[in-house]
Structure 1
Amino acid sequence: AAATAAGAIHMDCMGFGMGAGCLQMTFQAKDVREARFLYDQLGIVAPLMLALTAATPVWKGVLADTDVRWNVISGSVDDRDALERGLPPSPEAAASGRRPIPKSRYSSIDCFISQCALMQEEFNDVECVVSQPAVDRLLAAGIDPRLAKHVGHLFCRDPLVVFEDRLELDDSADSEHFESLQSTNWNTVRFKPPPADPESGINWRGGVRSIGL
């Protein structure tokens, strides 16, 4: 049935979320500094753009109590286990040392990354779970703490898509492994490094992904 007795709308596959239409726009910056500033500014307006373009009040022919697609998509790709959701985990998971992750991998941004003087550190007041080994490696390589935190947050989740014939790659010359992880962290805004190929002509970018259609 389209709706259960409890009034919920039964959507039992990922397609109900990822099948929703939207408008995504990517802007190329002149350098990494400008791209980081762009990311933060887009992160501020992205929720407003979602509200202004609300276009999804009906699911499976039933009027819902939401008029945007976001929470449906967020739920459709939420692969967190019980521990990551903050629920009582299995003994094995509890012994793993992992932490709860507050949100689905399809969610709003978790931290600002600009080094602009206007972007004060106290603005980063949302819990942002990170992979500490990833953060430590980035800091050791000379990456500043804000950007290291952003990338470390991507690595707190497992990659969803790995192709068998693309397992063994030279990561110094091919960014596919990183992009496989980055592209399955769906946030309102995405910070996009250039491809590993210096001849690509593609620079640092920022993309807003919240606009309904």
Structure 2
Amino acid sequence: RHLKDELRARFPQSHSFLYRGDVFLFLHERKDFDGLSALAEEFRLKVIMSEELDDLFALPAHYRTAHEALELMMNPRFHGGSVCTVAWLRTPLLLKNIEGRRDLIAKEIRALAAHDKEKNTQYCETLYHYLTCCRSLKKTCDALFTHRNTVLYRIRRMQDDFHIPLDDPDAHADLLLGVSLLLFEEKGPDFFLRG
């Protein structure tokens, strides 16, 4: 069967159309979204679901974001599945848009990443999880599947040897963005996909 016929049969109210090589489908109910997984598997497709449209005039902005998300899904480093939502890919999309801007990353974070690469350590991942877990030692340990003493050691070394200002709340956004960008470049978009 052809994809066009299959779309018409499975989603009769959606009126699919082709635009710049992408197939558009307006879904009306959540159950329609659930049917996309089987279709994506059968036809080996990548499917991205945008945010809800409040107004048809918002379509160009939604298209741009959806198309960028689709390009991200086509990246060989992406293994997050065949059907995704823009909301699920929001963080990797933001990072993709500033990828390569190492000039925006604090020198302390770059030194930490160089150490990770040279010594095969996980200081950047520890810093990322420590900040995203609101500096909770227990949550950081759980996220890394690492013993408490190991995480404490890494935190102390980050502060003492790399001069990472973990006690300065004003620096946290800068630290998180910098380490996230480095991890995106090193590990790819999958690192930021929520379980």
Q: Report the TM-score range of the alignment, normalised by the length of the smaller protein.
A: under 0.3
- Give the TM-score normalised by the residue count of structure 1: 0.25
- Name which one, 1 or 2, has greater alpha-carbon Rg: 2
Q: Which has the higher helix share?
A: 2
- Give the TM-score normalised by the residue count of structure 2: 0.26
Structure possessing the higher relative contact order (Cα contacts under 8 Å, 6 or more residues apart):
1
